Amino acid sequence: MTTEKTEENEETCGRQRQEDSSSKASFTTLSSIAIQAGQTQIVASVLQSGSLIHLQLVQFQPGLCEIGSDQEENHILIQEQQQLLEKLQVHKDSHSLIKACTKY
């Protein structure tokens, strides 16, 4: 486990970041997940601050707001995102267990 200081960041379409520097909190990283399907990749961390559990999307490639240049590329992106969701379901139960354990 690692402990880190994080700032609340919100990434908007176009990769602009809005930072709220007044809300710095101390989080402990419970776990990190990196999953890839084709050219699509997602990296997420499960963080804990006191009794709160926070899921932070660290990286998503290509960006959530990006679309393909044609119908075929759009179809591929949709398929890869569906594969990522299926792979994330495998981790769902283990993170539910982490969440349940941190309540006690």
pLDDT digit string (tens) for 31-86? 888 889 988 998 988 899 988 888 888 998 888 788 889 999 999 999 998 998 88
**How would residue 95 be classed by pLDDT, with cut points 50, 70 and 90?**
low
Q: Which of these, 42, 46, 34, 43, lies nearest to 2 by C-alpha position? A: 46
Contacts within 8 Å (CB) and 24+ apart, 95-103:
95/31, 95/46, 98/30, 98/31, 98/46, 98/53, 99/53, 102/30, 102/48, 102/51, 102/53, 103/51
Model pLDDT for residues 11-25, shown as the tens digit of each residue? 454 444 555 545 677
Amino acid 21: pLDDT? 47
Domain boundaries, position 69: 2-102
Q: Are strands 16-37 and 40-49 parallel, antiparallel or unpaired?
A: antiparallel
**How would residue 6 be classed by pLDDT, with cut points 50, 70 and 90?**
very low
- Domain count for the chain, please give it: 1
**What is the reported pTM?**
0.57
